[in-house]
Structure 1
Amino acid sequence: MPPTARTDIDRLAARLRAEARIPLRVAEGPPPAAGNAIVVEFLPRAQMQALVPEAACFVVPRIGSWDEYRAARRSARLDWATLTVRQRAAVFIPSDTSPQEIRDCLHEEVAQALGPLNDIYRLPDSVFNDDNFHAILTGFDMLVLRLYYAPELANGMTRAEVAARLPALLARVNPGGGSAAQSAPADPTPRAWIDAVERALGPRASEAARRDAARRAVAIAQASGWSDGRAGFSWFALGRLSLSGDLGTAFTAFLRAALIYRARPGMEIQAAHVDMQLAAFALSAGQAEDTLTFVDRSLPVVAQAENAALLATLMLLRAEALELLGRSSEARAVRLDAMGWARYGFGPEPEVRRRVAEIAALSPRARVAAAAQ
């Protein structure tokens, strides 16, 4: 087990007990031969991806080990749709990755073992969304899991039966929810948009094909009249994919994403991801004060979301901006504070140094130093 994993497992279990009211406990060693269990197994990434190349981590039902998975992986035994009762599941996580990725995998895969399986792109405040903006289970996610295990619901109930009980159940477990202004439900997400996003973010297509897919996602979002997180994510994906070859398109796309995310409540972490990109543009242009504006408004949101990698990146951008302003002692202090978050978020020391160097290279100071050599 990786060094930080047990602490993160214990923290997750404590949250599930306190917030979702699920009476689980953590035990080490082989799983019991019978009874309910979620087995978490850590494996080298190469060993995992030899069988499941596109998965960073994953969960499967009815088994309790990697060997069982290998034996059953082409059988109906692993088909979630055939389950009537969940009794056993196995979560597989790479052991040779950053502590944050291990923790994030624990949150998402254990939550899927317990509750919803399918990700929904229109959810703004949830790990059950393939946009990957949320690193850990949110309050909304805990509410959903608490509903799953409420005594009013049981295996075998029909959709209509569950729907009939939900209003009273929600009034009991989330009495404050009914007082909020109710917005109209989002339009269903068309398969064409999902396909475009998956191609844009997937590893199999060329860079040009991925950018074209991101443009299709933007076009579908615009044609659908969306102004929600799906529209913001379309622009964000296009911005990310344009960074290597078309900075003008990337900058425009990030601005469009920022306008969408900042116009709607509940999308603060999404806006913070965009602010990081805009801060990098500002730093590269030598606009130190603008860099600090983007960073400083996002730091509290990112700290609350416990995203160490993003937090370290913002802090390192802040340090470079302070250097540009001649505030070197402050910059050194910020850079030192960022290192602890960077080691948790990025992993091994060589990777931390690489990320630090990438951010430092954005600054005009680096370009001046390089020209002088």
Structure 2
Amino acid sequence: MIALLGLTACNPVQNAQVSKNYTEAGTNGMGFAAMQSFGPVVTTRTQRANAETAHDFLDLEFRMESGRANPSFSRFEGPITVALKGDVPPTATAEMTRLISRFRSEAGLPISFAKPGDNPSITVEFQPRAQMARVVPMAACFVVPRVQSWAEYKAERDGPKVNWTTMTSREHVSIFVPSDAAPQEVRDCLNEETAQAMGPLNDLYRLTDSVFNDDNFNSVLTGFDMMILRLHYAPELRNGMNEAEVAKRVPAILARINPQGEGGSANFKRIAPRSWVAQVEGAFGPRGSNAQRLQAANMMLSIALAQGWQDARLGFSYYAKGRSLANSDPVQAVAALQEAARIYRAIPGAGLHVAHVDMQLAAVALAAGQSEQAIAFADRAIPAVKRAENASLLATLMLIKAEALQNEGQVAEARALRLDSLGWARYGFGSERQVRARMGEIANLGARGHRG
């Protein structure tokens, strides 16, 4: 069960290993449907007050994920151009075209593809995952300043050239993405890393409606993110400004670009301490045993309670605990997950977070033989997941529901839903082998529940 529950947060989808007893029967003899894709992105405006957005903006701009201060504001000046190079995946150009269109229409950015022979502002280079992992083992994808190739990055990675905190303007940055990633992971990397190549460099766990958040629940740029980029490129700001200079100008800019955010009650939150962030990495990272992940999740929760948090970070701590307990103590896992859902439901714009919790609960219910409950959790989560364009999570929910329907004797309905899920699974997981492996994992949960 842990292999399934590990899907939804923090880790890239790995090359799933097919167990020796998994056969073609895992798809009930069905051929694979064409890969599905999403239509135009529909975003909503942030519901927070401008004063709170200003506070978030400064923490995004002048702090780094490492905890260091970033002394200077920096951005590109003039038109921004993008080039894709390396072993470019088949879906990458279309995803980048779609993203550029969004940057232009929603954030007002002068961005386009570079023409042949141009020196692009942003280079997106695709390299095999194994080669990237040998150099940066913990990163699915990442962005680096002042280099124009993978070879140059490897030569300079330990030197001052790639230090973001020394920048007062941006002329060229490179993004590195696995060439053998699933289409959804390619899209997610392009969304987050291109936004950070142009805009703020930090991630904040308190932001529920943003990709600038390492909980990885949101993977497509949101209305809040586009507003942050519009603010980042406001004409009132200049390269090289310090935090005080930017802070002085931000309120007036926000009043101009987001008038509906004026007034209202601001809820200012401090950045999470590094001790909590370290436990997040332990609870969700690819290394360590499940016992170690549970220990880290318990530490996350202890720190969150000691900090007095009532926001998404407390919800995420309960989520981590529930996820880590799912295999060893389903009863306690459900209790922790229900507490996470309660916290997320009280936060405006956190519907996707609730959906992630519901997926976990649906998987536990399926393994426990509670088919009707698994169907109810899946049905409740699917609309929010579709709006968020998370194909891997959508396919997983559809497959869980199909197994539950199968266990209820609704064989034809289960087969139809399984077939519908395959196009989304191809987008979310990539290769046919990975799709079959995920189907096998969920089928095993259903079989366990049926036996129970």
Normalised by the shorter chain, which TM-score bucket? over 0.9
Change (3 A) 1:366 1:161: closer
Aligned partner letter, 1:232: G
Residue 331 in 1 paired to residue 418 in 2? no
Tell me how many residue pairs correspond in the alignment: 365
SS of the equivalent of 1:172 reads helix
Q: Is the 1:285–1:364 Cα contact (8 Å) retained in structure 2?
A: no
CA distance in 1 between counterparts of 2:308 and 2:226 reads 31
Aligned with 2:348 (options 265, 282, 302)? 265
Change (3 A) 1:78 1:39: same
| Counterpart pick for 1:71 among 155, 167, 171 | 155
Give the 3 Å change call, closer, same or farther, for CA 12–299 of structure 1 in structure 2.
same
CA distance in 2 between counterparts of 1:295 and 1:311 reads: 9
Q: Which amino acid aligns with 2:206?
A: R
Which deviates the most, 205-214 or 104-113? 205-214
Match of 2:395 in 1: 312
SS across alignment from 1:266 = coil
1:46-69 superposed Cα distances (whole Å, 9 cap, x missing partner): 111111111111110011111111
Q: Which runs of 5+ in 1 are unaligned?
A: none
Instruction: Decide which of 137, 155, 160 is 2:221's aligned counterpart.
Output: 137
Shift of 1:250: 2.3
Match of residue 110 from structure 2: 23
Query: Residue by residue, what CA displacement relative to the aligned partner does 1:168-217 show, whole Å, maximum 9, x if unpaired?
Result: 211221122226x4242124322221222122223344432232111111
The CA deviation at 1:261 is 1.0
Q: How does 1:1-373 map to 2 (within 5 A)?
A: 1-27=88-114, 32=119, 37-178=121-262, 181-364=264-447, 367-368=450-451
3-state DSSP class of the match of 2:111?
coil
Rounded Cα–Cα distance in structure 1 between residues aligned with 2:115 and 2:430: 25
Deviates more, 1:12-21 or 1:167-176: 167-176
1:283 partner amino acid: L
Task: Indicate the SS of the match to 2:379.
Answer: helix
Using the alignment, how far apart are the partners of 2:136 and 2:188 within structure 1? 18
- Aligned to 1:363, the other structure's residue is in SS state helix
Letter in 2 for 1:122: R
What is the distance in 2 between the residues matched to 1:76 and 1:28? Answer: 30
Shift of 1:342: 0.2
Higher relative contact order (CA 8 A, sep 6+): 2
Query: Post-superposition shift, 1:328?
Result: 2.6
The alpha-carbon distance between structure 1 residues 71 and 187, as it changes in their structure 2 partners (threshold 3 A), is closer
| Distance in 1, Cα, partners of 2:386 & 2:93 | 22
Q: Contact 2:210 / 2:221 at 8 angstroms: preserved in 1?
A: yes
- Higher normalized helix content (fraction of residues): 1
How far did 1:126 drift? 0.7
Moved more, 328-337 or 89-98: 328-337
SS in 2 for 1:345: helix
Whether the 8 Å contact between 2:143 and 2:174 is mirrored in structure 1 is yes
What letter corresponds to residue 6 of structure 1 in structure 2? Answer: T
Amino acid corresponding to residue 22 of structure 1 in structure 2: L
| Pair 337,30 (structure 1): closer, same or farther in 2 beyond 3 Å | farther
- Determine the C-alpha separation between the residues in 2 that align with 1:268 and 1:28: 41
SS at match of 2:176: strand
Secondary structure at the residue paired with 1:60? strand
CA distance 1:87–1:170, change in 2 (3 Å): same
For residues 313 and 117 of structure 2, the distance between their equivalents in structure 1, rounded to whole angstroms, comes to: 42
8 Å CA contact 1:42, 1:93 repeated in 2: yes
Equivalent residue of 1:25, what SS? Answer: strand
Quote the Cα distance in structure 1 between the aligned partners of 2:331 and 2:397. 22
Amino acid across the alignment from 1:186: K
Output the CA distance in 2 between the equivalents of 1:365 and 1:248.
Answer: 16
Q: CA deviation at 1:254?
A: 1.2
Task: State the percentage of identical aligned residues.
Answer: 55
CA distance in 1, matches of 2:186, 2:294: 29
- Structure-2 separation of matches of 1:278 and 1:366: 14
For 1:306-326, what per-residue CA distance to the aligned partner results, in whole angstroms no more than 9, with x for missing partners?
A: 100001011111212222333
Contact 2:301 2:317 (C-alpha < 8 Å) held by counterparts: yes
Q: TM-score, normalised by structure 1?
A: 0.93
Per-residue Cα deviation, 1:71-120 (whole angstroms, up to 9, x for no partner): 21111000000000011000000011211111101111111111111111
Q: CA deviation at 1:244?
A: 3.7
**Structure 1 stretch displaced more, 161-170 or 243-252:** 243-252
- Aligned alpha-carbon RMSD (Å): 1.8
